[in-house]
Amino acid sequence: MKARVTVMLKPSVLDPQGEAVRHALGALGFDGVDAVRQGKVIELDLADTNSAAAQARVEEMCEKLLANTVIESYAVEIIA
pLDDT at residue 56, rounded to an integer = 97
Q: Which CATH number fits domain 2-79: 3.30.1280.10, 3.40.50.360, 3.40.50.300, 3.40.50.1970?
A: 3.30.1280.10
CB 10 within 8 Å of CB 72: yes
Q: What is the C-alpha separation between 25 and 35, in angstroms, rounded? A: 11
Residue 46, burial from CB neighbour count under 10 angstroms (0-12, 13-18, 19+): middle
pLDDT(44) > 90: yes
Local confidence band at 80 (pLDDT 50, 70, 90 cut-offs):
confident
What type of residue is 54?
A
CB 78 within 8 Å of CB 50: no
What mean pLDDT do residues 25-31 have? 97
pLDDT(53) > 90: yes
For the chain, the structural domain boundaries read 2-79
Q: Rounded to two decimals, what is the model's pTM?
A: 0.90
pLDDT at residue 19, rounded to an integer = 98
